[in-house]
Amino acid sequence: MTENNDDNPKIFVDDDWKEEARREKEEADRQTRDVPEAGELPPPSFVELLQMITLQATIALGGYQDPQTGQRIPPNLPAAKHHIGLLEMLEDKTRNNLDDEEKSLLGGMLHELRMAFVQVAGAGPQAAGEAETTNQ
């Protein structure tokens, strides 16, 4: 008579976790190698360029305070529009030449900046009035 061993736990080997662990290790190794020494600048990157332009647009949208006075920097819509236009130009000029991460990042930055621009532009004189009252 044969015994049925259905009550014993069965071990399933899932090879996907091995592949995922390998990818995570490679990413961690890459990030460790990419860390610059103290005083050394990292190599230029497309993402860094996007971040610099986005920062300028955000400042122009009144999203920062003056570090010396602590007062909010008033919106400068023409400058914000210019920096958003720079990102749009980069999107057009680099179409079909970006990896998925760069494309997603650029698209997300443009979307957020456009929404902020519409919000600040819609506030119009009210935003300028807030800036004037904070300057006094």
Distance CA 26, CA 74 (A): 45
Which stretches of the chain score pLDDT less than 50?
127-136
* Residue 22: predicted pLDDT: 73
pTM as predicted: 0.62
Q: Which residues contact 56 (CB under 8 A, 6 or more apart)?
A: 79, 83
Phi, psi of 106 (to 5 degrees): -60, -45
**What gap in Å lies between CA 124 and CA 121, rounded to an integer?**
5
Q: Where are the domains of the chain?
A: 43-135
